[in-house]
Structure 1
Amino acid sequence: MAFTQNKTIDITGKVLELSSKQPVNYASVIIVDAKTKKNINGTTTHDDGTFNLSTNSSKFHIEISFIGYKTKVINEFIIKNNSINLGTIFLTEDLAQLNEVIVEAEVSKTQFKLDKRIFNIGKDLSSTGASALEILNNVPSVNVNIEGAISLRGSQGVQILINGKPSVIASDGGNALGTITADMIERIEVITNPSAKYDAEGTSGIINIILKKEERKGLNGSASLNLGTPTNHSFGLSLNRRTEKFNLFSQLGVGYRKLPNDRLSINKDLINNTTLNSSGTEYRNETFYNIILGTDYHINDNNVLTLSGSYAYEVEDQPSATNFSFTNESNTNASVWKRTEETEATNPKYQYELQYKKDFDDYEDHMLLFSALGRFFGKKQASNFEDTTIAGDNRDNLQKTRTDFDEANYTFKLDYTKPFNDVFTIETGAQYVLNNVSNDYEVQNFENGNYVTDANQTNIFDFNQNVLGIYGTAAYEGEKWGVKIGLRLENTDLETLLKNTNAQNKQNYANLFPSLHASYKITDAYSLQIGYSKRVYRPRLWDLNPFFNIRNNFNIRTGNPDLKPEFTDSYELTNIYNIGKASINFGIYYRYTTDAIERSVSTFENNVNTFKPLNLGTTSAVGIEFNGKYPVANWLIFNGDINYNAFKRKGTFNNSSINFDADQWTSKLTSKLKLPADIDFEITGNYTSKTETVQGNEAEVIFADLGLRKKILKGKGVINLSVRDIFASRIEKYETIQPNFYLYNENQRGRFITLGLSYGFGKGEAMEYAGKRR
């Protein structure tokens, strides 16, 4: 313990993990007043585990802590020339923690909690310059296909949240997740079996993307510049200013990219023995801007008011071309033509939120939280299509489409958490979500020298859905075991209207959503977790909207206004092992879904494939999941993820049974090597097996990503190189095999290479005020 005059004392040191001798970055280093026990000053360790801070106090001790490790308290040290050098400090794992097991590696830190898994982002090399969608594809159990559809454990119907709340950035209506880059993301939470506290939406679970909002003393920030091929350039700037009362945070992003998509389709009429082939490259060129501004106002030690807003704007250009050929029953080309598209669109998105949080003095987690959230998404799009005959029958044709889309969403939420003692806690709250959408869509055909509206493909579609939910949970957390039970009630009021034809669909239904989570520590190295929850997938706008893009007018996707919600009962059992340096997590899960939605059911007429979502009976799935990490040495670490599920479909389509059994498995393996000259190398392999669908099958997919990182400027700067889909092997192939027709579709994005430079500035000193909870 120090006894000095009021002079500034500089304190330095380095924190390592005892067993692996790896640096512990972001560990908390706090100077504590010896008499009052209040925190005087604090910081967090850098990437190499080092730290430095100072104090004018005369009597103090030093505490060093990190989640999952035992806190180190240092009372004895030598002050020389007004400085203290603590040297190397080793932290040991705290195996007594019940609800959280940390799997730490330099690649990313993974936290296992009672009802979620947390993946901290920032060190995965192959994520350089990547968007949120690409980051998600590197998270265990999560898959993002070439169309951007997100699935969890092989199933879609996932609810995406931003900072714990619905967001226009994550909405189905836009592509705004692409405007969030890896530099802006702090962590991703994967909740496969959400408790009743969470919105019941999302049959496969919830993915919560937490954006960075640093709380550092003074002005701090980081800047990143990324250059890529195909064209993928972006610049991001994050700034944070912290004072005693205010925490001001902002993020700015701007970029331009070209997203080519090579497509191949074959439509075979097996009755008339005709074939239509189409192939070409679709482009979506985007200029995007986004800004996030907000402030936390610390009214006092127990009350915080947050006001934040975000704005994103996209300008799209889609110069696409598709080549068609029609082969008749004599197996000769009857016609060859080319269809070109010129599309321009603007997509404004904005969001605003007011949040109030009150902490109570009796227990750390005793709090009241209220938030009001508003968000808007708009799209104005105009497309021109031209068919030009190359050979054979005349196919010359001109078409236009126009889209005016507006969506407004408002969410009001109240949450209250009350611990009664150190082991028993209850939660309760309510949420009301209002969603209003209007989509004005028009198709015009060129006839007799004029553009004429096609009444069969033109209409105004209105979508209004209001959901009211209330919940309660109770949790017991003892030394050896814990349990959490909950119940949520939700009432849904849905109405859709096609204005031009006055076709309506009204639904009103109320449902109970129970949940159960439990954990038991058998030994210090082995724990068990179980979970159950009931979930719902409510058809979203793009599931219901009957309008479509006619880019390829022989392969048409349309919505289904009569689609019903699907409900899923989800069960899981997870085993968590810590064996020396290795961490292994093995889980078994079961899901049963009623009114299961099949999202691409095809009908075929005149070589035109029209596909839309339908409710087709029930699905039951049994799966196993394996996650593991093993540091072979200080310079080599392996992370692996394997997921296998076998499912049964039961139902009818067009008065015919579609009962079948099938299975699928996915796997990822990441290896990281530390090379000389402070260079890190990382490579990730991904594999998804072939699987059967209601009408055909999906082919296997295998691809690999790699990354290199070099620290510069004493660790303040980092140069990254990433290559996604190294071998250009990520090709998605779909077959539809029916008695009367055969369909084949193939999509490929290709290889993406990105070079990134990032630089952090500011003091980087974490600040914790006396008596204030962080």
Structure 2
Amino acid sequence: MTNRFFLLIFTLVLIPLYTTHAQSASISGKVSDAITGEPLIGASIRLLDSNDGFINGTVSDISGNFEISSLDFGVYTIEIEYIGYNDFIKNGIKLDLENPNFNIGNIGMNTEGLSTEEIEVITEKPNVEISGEKFIYNIDKNVVAKGESVLDVLRRTPLISVDENDNVSIRGNSSVKILIDGRDTKSFNNLSQMPADLLKKVEVITNPSAKYESEGIAGILNLIMKKDENIGTNGNLNLSYGTRDIFNGGMDFNFNKNEFGASAMFYTGQWYNNLTGTNTRTNLFNDSLANIVGEVNAFNRSNWYFGGLNLDYNITENTYIEIFSEYTNSHWKYDSKTVTENFSPSNELLSYFDNNSKHSGTWKNISGGIFFYKKLNDNGHDLNVQVSVNIPQTDRSNHSFRYYFDGNGNSVTPQNPSDRIQVIDSWNVNFRDIISTIDYQLPINETDKFEAGYRGAIKRIEANYLSRYLEPQTGAFVTDANLSNDYDYDNNVQALYSVFTTELLHLGVKAGLRVEHTISDGNNRTSGETFKKNYTDFFPTLSISKKFNFAEEIRLSYSRRINRPQDWQLNPFTTQTSPQSYNRGNPELNPEYTNSIELSYLKFFGTFSVTPTIFYRQKTDNISNITTLTDSNVTYTTFENIGKSSDYGIDFIMGGRLFEIVSLNGTLSYYRREFNKETLPPGLDARGYQWSANISSSITLPEDFRVQVFYNYQGDNVTPMGKMTGFHNLGAGISKGFLGNKLNVSLSARDILNEGGFNWEMNGYGFTSNTDNKFSMQNLNLSVSYNFGEIKNKEKPRRKTEKTTAPPPQN
């Protein structure tokens, strides 16, 4: 199967490699924003003769490039138009034997002289874009996103899915590296607390080059935050409120003058959710106990606030420095009531107990750093250096009250010493992250470029876990030594990379190699157990692309990536998640590796594009949780490397403007996941097809009205021990602009069909289980935003736009 798949891929890519186009003369160039340098995709290019008669036309591609070929010698005029920008006209372009191919160069389109309403159109882009190795989801004009969290936005981002525990996956794999503005950050413990109003766009990179850090088997998710590059003083106010008592609001303020810039933001909010569900566990090898049925009803409420301050300065025309800082503080409460019933093989109720728990916790983070940019010449020769520090801290507690009854409902005293009446668990975890990066790039000529860099990441974790239970005889709380633990973990990853880009046989070639050395140390101070891992890995990457014209491209890419075990997966300490289930880490875990290959084809039809992508991913040393039922009817879950698996399938992405007022974006993914049965533990077998669909449409109406509708479906997700059934979500929104679109009011609805929830089927050693949970995700949200201050979109001698367009060094 694998050989046939690779043969298909290379056959498809080799067929068109030597396609050539006969031509006598040509005109080419590039269209970009004069201030940010971002390429303008889909700009209209018209070629006229000396009498202003139309000769030919085209549109700019994903890099802003265009070419009109097969022209006769003569004198021409070229006209370039792009919505929201001033038109560009160049006369007197002469093509002859001495100058048959004319390159007009980089044409910087500007907006000077446009009204505020026109400036608003400048930033409007298609919801979904494809740029090189990135899939880009623009949300700054997304009506439904107003008042939502970043996690809500990711639920309908192409190629992305979010499960019941808020884990983010790409193509069904949760090993995703999440960055904010291209760098690691711990500002938000949970993306459900991060307001979508902060975001400009989401970048999904499924097969990154060696420039990016190798962590994250499924790929990289880069969240790009909004930044304002306009000269002067301006800002934005946001406020939203939802029917489920969900609130968030805040403001950002920007000041830019001459060589100095400053920006500040503050946001706060609250979030609420309700969970109801059942769990049925069937014992396969116990004659006296057949089923355990649990019913849960839980309420979760959190409050948070977030602030940031950035200062930047252009030391010279070619040297730029920025200092950034952030602070986050969040608090949550989680109350749950669980009733667990024990049944005999004849379905007779033997006993049951109530477990009432009150959880609470805080997450605080201070982060900051410095970013330095040096422009070495005007051809893209530059150097970036960044150092950042994250200092998060979390404190959590859980107070459980347990009441035990026999089958007739009579209160009883538990006979098992491990069955406690009251339990108080508390956690305190302190983190320290220091990350340093250096990125250097040297364009050699028009087609060749060399890049190299360094990344060092040092992580320190100190975790303290204390479990106490009520001693009935004394009425005092006693420390449970078996469930209390002090644990230290250090992880040090040092990396070097190089990437070379060139053109070979009319093919764009980008080859890279990354070397990473990892040292990890764990110390369970309670038991005295220690472990250490020390290893070096090589991560090659390769991308080969072919442009048939400036609206059609095919790309073949390969990468090798890693997923290192997390600190909590390595800690050889047993924790109790309920009276009948325990977890324990495995210090012998090894990293899991993947080899990934993709073949994608991009075709523009005017401003509408379609992109089918075939992919194959093989993973070794899969890290998976394994759950076993013991003779005492208690389940133990640990982590093991369980051998090989493979994913292969196809994504189909389309998007663009269908008509003048209607845009449409859609994604369909269909793939198969197979775990190698020979490498799985005995009795386990997992394989199956999975698919997902995502579609959204936006309609621009007169009087500054905008309507948006989206639908998302996520199919069953296969794991080594079972599967999670699919779910779907329908949402819609409408917005209205006032005061020249400075004031915007929107109303949006989420989970209109009220389908929030999931079903999880698991096959473990000695048991099967079925979990059916329902979330209160349905919500109606009203949002108001107001832009204030000066809007002077004028070019300044600054380099911050370089960092904004292509975020800080991404290693």
User: TM-score, normalising length from structure 2?
Assistant: 0.80
Change (3 A) 1:739 1:593: closer
Measured in 2, the distance between the counterparts of 1:438 and 1:381 equals: 14
Q: Describe how 1:368-383 pairs up with structure 2 within 5 A.
A: 368-383=383-398
Give CA-to-partner distance per residue, 1:9-38, whole Å, 9 cap, x none. Answer: xxxxxx99769xxxx9xxx9xxxxxxxxxx
Residue 456 of structure 1: how far off its partner (Å)? 1.8
Q: Which residue in the other structure is 2:785 paired with?
A: 758
Q: Describe how 1:727-746 pairs up with structure 2 within 5 A.
A: 727-738=753-764, 740-746=766-772
Give CA-to-partner distance per residue, 1:195-244, whole Å, 9 cap, x none. Answer: 11111111111111111221111111101001113221111211110011
Equivalent residues of 2:368, 2:388 under 8 A apart: yes
Equivalent residues of 1:604, 1:741 under 8 A apart: no
Residues 718-727 or 674-683, more deviating: 674-683
Change (3 A) 1:495 1:328: same
Q: Describe how 1:211-360 pairs up with structure 2 within 5 A.
A: 211-271=225-285, 272=287, 273-360=289-376
Residue 455 of structure 1: how far off its partner (Å)? 1.8
Equivalent residues of 1:668, 1:687 under 8 A apart: yes
Q: Which residue in the other structure is 2:166 paired with?
A: 148
Change (3 A) 1:50 1:486: closer
Give CA-to-partner distance per residue, 1:51-81, whole Å, 9 cap, x none. Answer: 99xxxxxxx9999xxxxx9958799xxxxxx
Measured in 1, the distance between the counterparts of 2:43 and 2:179 equals: 33
Residue 397 of structure 1: how far off its partner (Å)? 1.2
Measured in 2, the distance between the counterparts of 1:180 and 1:310 equals: 13
Give CA-to-partner distance per residue, 1:239-288, whole Å, 9 cap, x none. Answer: 11001111101111111222323332111213334222112222331110
Measured in 2, the distance between the counterparts of 1:122 and 1:302 equals: 30
Q: Which residue in the other structure is 2:469 paired with?
A: 445
Residues 261-270 or 465-474, more deviating: 261-270
Give CA-to-partner distance per residue, 1:64-118, whole Å, 9 cap, x none. Answer: xxxxx9958799xxxxxxx98999999xxxxxxxxxxxxx996744332222222
SS in 2 for 1:133: helix
SS in 2 for 1:388: strand
Matched, 1:613 2:639: yes
Residues 620-629 or 595-604, more deviating: 595-604
Measured in 1, the distance between the counterparts of 2:246 and 2:371 equals: 35
Residue 515 of structure 1: how far off its partner (Å)? 0.6
Residues 244-253 or 523-532, more deviating: 523-532
Give CA-to-partner distance per residue, 1:307-329, whole Å, 9 cap, x none. Answer: 11100001222222222222233
Residues 595-604 or 727-736, more deviating: 595-604
Equivalent residues of 1:651, 1:657 under 8 A apart: no
Equivalent residues of 2:145, 2:197 under 8 A apart: no
Matched, 1:464 2:490: yes
Q: Which residue in the other structure is 1:4 paired with?
A: none
Change (3 A) 1:551 1:661: closer
Equivalent residues of 2:623, 2:642 under 8 A apart: yes
Letter in 1 for 2:741: G
Equivalent residues of 1:341, 1:551 under 8 A apart: no
Letter in 1 for 2:452: T
Give CA-to-partner distance per residue, 1:687-706, whole Å, 9 cap, x none. Answer: 12224432222212222222
Change (3 A) 1:555 1:228: farther
Residues 133-142 or 632-641, more deviating: 632-641
Q: Describe how 1:32-181 pairs up with structure 2 within 5 A.
A: 49=84, 71=107, 108-169=126-187, 174-175=189-190, 177-181=191-195
Change (3 A) 1:768 1:87: closer
Q: Describe how 1:483-498 pairs up with structure 2 within 5 A.
A: 483-498=509-524
SS in 1 for 2:152: helix
Residue 441 of structure 1: how far off its partner (Å)? 0.6
Identity of aligned residues (%): 25
Change (3 A) 1:265 1:551: same
Equivalent residues of 1:679, 1:708 under 8 A apart: yes
Measured in 1, the distance between the counterparts of 2:114 and 2:584 equals: 67
Change (3 A) 1:654 1:566: closer
Measured in 2, the distance between the counterparts of 1:62 and 1:232 equals: 54
Equivalent residues of 1:262, 1:748 under 8 A apart: yes
Give CA-to-partner distance per residue, 1:474-504, whole Å, 9 cap, x none. Answer: 1126996421111011000011121111122
Equivalent residues of 1:107, 1:124 under 8 A apart: no
Equivalent residues of 1:335, 1:393 under 8 A apart: no
Residue 638 of structure 1: how far off its partner (Å)? 2.3
Change (3 A) 1:717 1:660: same
Q: Which residue in the other structure is 1:687 paired with?
A: 713
Residue 161 of structure 1: how far off its partner (Å)? 0.8
Equivalent residues of 1:443, 1:454 under 8 A apart: yes
Letter in 2 for 1:430: Y
Letter in 2 for 1:326: N
Matched, 1:429 2:453: yes
Structure 1, unmatched stretches of 5+, are 1-14, 29-44, 53-59, 64-68, 76-82, 91-103
Equivalent residues of 1:285, 1:318 under 8 A apart: yes
Equivalent residues of 2:749, 2:781 under 8 A apart: yes
Measured in 2, the distance between the counterparts of 1:131 and 1:291 equals: 16
Structure 2, unmatched stretches of 5+, are 1-40, 46-59, 65-80, 92-104, 415-419, 802-811
Give CA-to-partner distance per residue, 1:662-716, whole Å, 9 cap, x none. Answer: 2211111112234565432222111122244322222122222222212223211
Measured in 1, the distance between the counterparts of 2:393 and 2:116 equals: 57
Equivalent residues of 1:267, 1:743 under 8 A apart: yes
> Given the alignment, which residue of 716, 721, 746 partners 2:747?
721
Letter in 1 for 2:340: F
Measured in 1, the distance between the counterparts of 2:488 and 2:391 equals: 15
Measured in 1, the distance between the counterparts of 2:482 and 2:116 equals: 76
SS in 1 for 2:151: helix
SS in 2 for 1:293: strand
Letter in 2 for 1:628: M
SS in 1 for 2:187: helix
SS in 1 for 2:144: helix
Q: Which residue in the other structure is 2:566 paired with?
A: 540
Residues 188-197 or 127-136, more deviating: 127-136
Measured in 2, the distance between the counterparts of 1:652 and 1:719 equals: 58
Change (3 A) 1:344 1:732: same
Give CA-to-partner distance per residue, 1:166-203, whole Å, 9 cap, x none. Answer: 11136xxx32x233211111221111111111111111
SS in 2 for 1:656: coil
Give CA-to-partner distance per residue, 1:638-683, whole Å, 9 cap, x none. Answer: 2110111112212568851645432211111112234565432222
Change (3 A) 1:581 1:162: closer
Matched, 1:388 2:415: no
SS in 2 for 1:715: coil
Measured in 1, the distance between the counterparts of 2:164 and 2:365 equals: 23
SS in 2 for 1:319: strand
Letter in 1 for 2:166: G
Measured in 2, the distance between the counterparts of 1:523 and 1:650 equals: 42
Measured in 1, the distance between the counterparts of 2:237 and 2:117 equals: 31
Equivalent residues of 1:160, 1:206 under 8 A apart: yes
Q: Describe how 1:548-627 pairs up with structure 2 within 5 A.
A: 550=576, 552-599=578-625, 601-603=627-629, 606-627=632-653
Q: Which residue in the other structure is 2:50 paired with?
A: none
Measured in 2, the distance between the counterparts of 1:84 and 1:340 equals: 65
Give CA-to-partner distance per residue, 1:421-450, whole Å, 9 cap, x none. Answer: 222111111111111101111111212222
Query: Please, what is the CA RMSD of the aligned residues?
Result: 3.3
User: TM-score, normalising length from structure 1?
Assistant: 0.84
Q: Which residue in the other structure is 2:439 paired with?
A: 415
SS in 2 for 1:456: helix
Change (3 A) 1:685 1:638: same
Change (3 A) 1:236 1:86: closer
Letter in 1 for 2:488: D
Equivalent residues of 1:335, 1:392 under 8 A apart: no
Letter in 1 for 2:450: I
